[in-house]
A and B are shown apart, each in its own frame.
Chain A
Amino acid sequence: MHRALDANNLREVLKYSALMLSELRTSKLSPQKYYDLYMRAFDQLRQLEIFLRDESRHGLPVVDLYELVQHAGNILPRMYLLCTVGSVYIKSKQAPSKDVLKDLVEMCRGVQHPIRGLFLRSYLTQVSRDKLPEIGSDYQGDANTVMDAVEFVLQNFTEINKLWVRIQHQGPGTVREKQEKERNELRDLVGKNLHVLGQIEGVHLEMYKETVLPRILEQVVNCKDDFAQYYLMECIIQVFPDEYHLQTLETLLAACTQLMPTVDTKIVLTQLMDRLSNYAVSSPDVLHEFLQVEAFAKLNNAIGKVIDTQIEMPIVGAMTLFVSLLTFALRVHPDRLDYVDQVLGACVVKLSSGPKLEDARAMKQVVALLSAPLEKYNDIVTALTLSNYPRVMDHLDDGTNKLMAMLIIQSIMKNNSCISTADKVEVLFELIKGLIKDLDGNAYRGEDFQEEQNSVARLINMLDNEEPEEMLKIICVVRKHLMTGGTRRLPFTIPPLIFSALRLVRQLESQGGDMTGEDLPATPRKIFQILNQTIEVLSSVPCPELALRLYLQCAEAASDCDLEPAAYEFFTQAFILYEEEIADSKAQVTAIHLIAGTLQRINVFGVENRDTLTPKATGGGYSARLLKKPDQCRAVYACSHLFWVDDLDGIKDGERALLCLRRALRIANAAQQMANATRGSSGSVTLFVEILNKYIYFYEKGSPHITPSDIQSLIELINTEMQSDNNGNTRTHSDPFFTSTLRYMRFQKQKGGLMGDKYELIKL
Chain B
Amino acid sequence: MNYLRGAFKPACNISITFTDGKNRKQVPVKKDNGQMVMNPLFHSQETIAGKVCIEPYQGKKVEHNGVKVELLGQIEMYFDRGNFYDFTSLVRELDVPGEIYEKKAYPFEFPTVEMPYETYNGVNVRLRYVLKVTVTRGYAGSIVEYQDFVVRNYSPLPPINNSIKMEVGIEDCLHIEFEYNKSKYHLKDVILGKVYFLLVRIKIKNMDLEIRRRESTGAGANTHVETETLAKFELMDGAPVRGESIPVRLFLTPYDLTPTHKNINNKFSVKYYLNLVLVDEEDRRYFKQQEITLYRLKDESS
Establish whether residues B238 and A116, one from each chain, have CB atoms under 8 Å apart when the complex forms: yes
The answer to the question of A75 belonging to the interface, with a C-beta cut-off of 8 Å to chain B, is: yes
Cβ-neighbour of B238 out of A71, A73, A74, A113 (below 8 A)? A113
| Chain B residue contacts of A474, Cβ below 8 A | none
The answer to the question of A358 belonging to the interface, with a C-beta cut-off of 8 Å to chain B, is: no
Q: How far is the CB of B174 from chain A (nearest CB, A)?
A: 14
Q: How far is the CB of A286 from chain B (nearest CB, A)?
A: 42
Establish whether residues A110 and B253, one from each chain, have CB atoms under 8 Å apart when the complex forms: no
- Nearest CB to that of B243 among chain A residues? A162
The answer to the question of A459 belonging to the interface, with a C-beta cut-off of 8 Å to chain B, is: no
Cβ-neighbour of A116 out of B237, B245, B253 (below 8 A)? B237
Establish whether residues B236 and A111, one from each chain, have CB atoms under 8 Å apart when the complex forms: yes
- Nearest CB to that of A107 among chain B residues? B247
The answer to the question of A601 belonging to the interface, with a C-beta cut-off of 8 Å to chain B, is: no
Cβ-neighbour of B249 out of A70, A73, A74 (below 8 A)? A70
Q: Mark B232-255, 1 if CB is under 8 A from A, else 0.
A: 111111111100111101010110
- Report Cα–Cα, A377/B240, bound state, in Å: 57
- Report Cα–Cα, A75/B236, bound state, in Å: 7
| Chain A residue contacts of B235, Cβ below 8 A | 75, 110
- Nearest CB to that of B245 among chain A residues? A109
Q: How far is the CB of A121 from chain B (nearest CB, A)?
A: 12
- Nearest CB to that of B244 among chain A residues? A112
Establish whether residues B251 and A110, one from each chain, have CB atoms under 8 Å apart when the complex forms: no
| Chain B residue contacts of A170, Cβ below 8 A | 239
B221-279 residues with Cβ-Cβ distance < 8 A to A are 231-241, 244-247, 249, 251, 253-254
Q: How far is the CB of A94 from chain B (nearest CB, A)?
A: 19
Establish whether residues A162 and B241, one from each chain, have CB atoms under 8 Å apart when the complex forms: yes
Cβ-neighbour of A109 out of B234, B239, B244, B254 (below 8 A)? B244
| Chain A residue contacts of B238, Cβ below 8 A | 111-114, 116-117
Establish whether residues B246 and A109, one from each chain, have CB atoms under 8 Å apart when the complex forms: yes
| Chain A residue contacts of B239, Cβ below 8 A | 112-113, 166, 170
| Chain A residue contacts of B245, Cβ below 8 A | 109
Q: How far is the CB of B210 from chain A (nearest CB, A)?
A: 10
The answer to whether residues A110 and B246 also contact, given A71-B253, A162-B241 and a CB cut-off of 8 A, is yes
- Nearest CB to that of B231 among chain A residues? A73
Q: How far is the CB of B148 from chain A (nearest CB, A)?
A: 29
Establish whether residues A76 and B247, one from each chain, have CB atoms under 8 Å apart when the complex forms: no
Establish whether residues B237 and A110, one from each chain, have CB atoms under 8 Å apart when the complex forms: yes
- Report Cα–Cα, A67/B249, bound state, in Å: 10
The answer to the question of A106 belonging to the interface, with a C-beta cut-off of 8 Å to chain B, is: yes
- Report Cα–Cα, A111/B206, bound state, in Å: 9
- Report Cα–Cα, A717/B231, bound state, in Å: 138
Establish whether residues B234 and A74, one from each chain, have CB atoms under 8 Å apart when the complex forms: yes
A315-363 residues with Cβ-Cβ distance < 8 A to B are none
Establish whether residues B234 and A75, one from each chain, have CB atoms under 8 Å apart when the complex forms: yes
Establish whether residues A110 and B247, one from each chain, have CB atoms under 8 Å apart when the complex forms: yes
The answer to whether residues A71 and B254 also contact, given A76-B237, A110-B237 and a CB cut-off of 8 A, is yes
Establish whether residues A73 and B232, one from each chain, have CB atoms under 8 Å apart when the complex forms: yes
| Chain B residue contacts of A113, Cβ below 8 A | 237-239
- Nearest CB to that of A70 among chain B residues? B251
- Report Cα–Cα, A76/B236, bound state, in Å: 9
A132-164 residues with Cβ-Cβ distance < 8 A to B are 162
The answer to the question of A25 belonging to the interface, with a C-beta cut-off of 8 Å to chain B, is: yes
- Nearest CB to that of A162 among chain B residues? B241
Task: Give residues in B with beta carbon < 8 Å to A.
Answer: 204, 206, 231-241, 244-247, 249, 251, 253-254
What are 15 A-B pairs with beta-carbon distances under 8 A?
A: A70-B249, A71-B251, A71-B253, A73-B231, A76-B234, A109-B247, A110-B235, A110-B247, A112-B204, A112-B237, A112-B244, A113-B237, A117-B237, A117-B238, A166-B239
Besides A78-B234, A109-B245, 19 more A-B contacts (Cβ < 8 Å) are A70-B251, A71-B253, A73-B232, A75-B234, A75-B236, A76-B237, A107-B247, A110-B246, A111-B236, A111-B237, A112-B236, A112-B237, A112-B239, A112-B244, A116-B237, A116-B238, A117-B238, A162-B241, A166-B241
